[in-house]
Structure 1
Amino acid sequence: MVKKKTGGTKEEESIVLEYLTKANRPYSATDVFNNLHAKYTKSTIVKILDKLIDDELVFSKTYGKTIIYSIKQNEEESPSEKDMEKMEKSINELNQELEVLLEENKKLEQTMTQLTAKPTTTEAQQLVEKAKLKNEEMRKKLNDLKSGTVLIPSEKRKRINEEYTRNRDLWKKRRRLFNDIFKTVTENYPGNPKELKEQLGVEEDPVPLEKDPLE
């Protein structure tokens, strides 16, 4: 036995039927849902309309992906063939308008997604300010380089000078110690001390570190 479809309550079916009767024009389930100000859920509206079709109080017709519902007319109130053609033409036009609106809505949603992905005006202003500060900083460095200005911070320069002085003093001390030892060793050397240095691979440091080159 085929189970009979159930819609909403009798009261809900009566309200939907009364609305379609008073409107006396075709509507989609969404139209009925909206025109009743979302009094019932859309799924409930669809069930009620299907139940009214089973009760032969309403008929439906499919146009593309849209199902249109309309109240059944009494024989004496049945529209003429001309009226039916006019009604069908109106429905087709409405469906075309619906397709256009859906396409426009899709484009608007895509545009909205793109806009929300971009920085806001405030964020853009902040980025511009950061770029200006960075640009000014780079411009100053460039001007300093062009003018020959030393870019090394004073603390770092001081640390480098101290390290240089320490290494220079150590070098002077070791060089003096080597010269004293070499002089003592070669004091009674029969050959040329300079040639001995060359044979031993000892090279004189050409850099005059006895004096600070920065002084």
Structure 2
Amino acid sequence: MSDEKGGKLSDTLLRLLRGTGRPFSVNALLKELPKDAKKANVEKVLGKLVDSEFVMEKTFGKKTLYWAKQSKVDSAKLLEQRNQLSEQIILLDKQLAATEETARKLEAELKQFTSKGKQDPDQKLSGPELDEAIKEQEKRVESLSAQRDRMAAAGGPKKSSKSKAEYEKAWRQRKRIVLDIMGAVLENSETLTKKDIIEQIGLETDEDAGVALPS
């Protein structure tokens, strides 16, 4: 097998294993590959992928299964990004609430100035000082309203919540892939337990990482 063909087969196998997230035996992989794929070549490429730590390999009895390796580094980064987004959402929520509350108060004060002028014409409400105060209040209302609009336009808490949801979705997909792999292994073994598989693979569970995703 030439290096070019070996490279193409390697790419094909990686896409298949990563795309499905399932464990495969060599025979099962051959069913998914073009008819001209040879078992010896597939085994050789899988061996290289295992050596390069792109693929995990485990033999259970007479059956050897292969699946794409899930990076612990990527999982750690995923958790870190999720936590950062959670903090960002809390901060943005507080900022938005404070801005809206201040804007409401200023709008109420402005209405109060205006209504006083209408109710008590004897007061010198048209004087320079009062006019200046009203203009200042109007500017503050406009500034805070603009700030609120900018936050809304940029997505604010909603945008961060969406990003957080995407990270949580990716995390759940990873977890589902791992559970599917363990399920397939357990189906082909009468002696192994879920705990045995976790220990043999060196898998970090949500409990080990101190993670509890919302339901």
Q: TM-score, normalised by structure 2?
A: 0.36
Larger RCO, structure (CA 8 Å, separation 6 or more):
2
What TM-score do you get using the length of structure 1 for normalisation?
0.36
More helix by share: 2
Q: Computing the radius of gyration over CA atoms, which structure comes out larger, 1 or 2? A: 1
